Amino acid sequence: MSKSLKRVRAVLDAAAIDTEVIETPLARTAADAAQAIGCEIDQIAKSIIFLGQDSGRAVLFITAGGNRVDPDKAAAVAGEPLGKADAALIRKQTGFAIGGVSPVGHVSPIRAFFDPRLSEFDVIWAAAGTPHHVFRANPADILKISDAEQTDFTS
């Protein structure tokens, strides 16, 4: 089991979230994950990372699979201009590679925002630290353990 997957599993266990981590052929995109799992694309919780231009820190937007993060709305809720986060910054500040970024289990504390669309489902699925692993959870549980703020940032 990879270090990334172990970190995610440890957070889920510590929060007493009874879930199974599932290995998929590929879950690098929301469409891939939804097809592999057999759920609606909006039940996939995408973890989108931006770079805070003022803070130099990664900012996480947990969004429904079919939604897009609106850069202007995202910057407004983050309270700073946002730019593209490169793979090195994402790996350094989250501990995850692009395509496997989980909403939980980051190596450093991260500011996080949660798409209200995800709360419309009983169950959502999120990356478990690798491009091939996902876990199922109640949206309220992910909102809580990610320490995210639920707000609108999509277009």
pTM: 0.95
Which of 131, 128, 123 has its CA nearest to residue 38?
123
Rounded CA separation 73/92 (Å): 26
pLDDT of residue 1: 77
CB neighbour list of residue 16: distance below 8 Å, 6 or more residues apart: none
Is residue 25 over pLDDT 90? no
pLDDT of residue 23: 93
> What is the mean pLDDT of the segment spanning 46-63?
98
Helix (H) or strand (E) holding 33: helix 30-37
Two structure tokens written together for 134: 């996902």
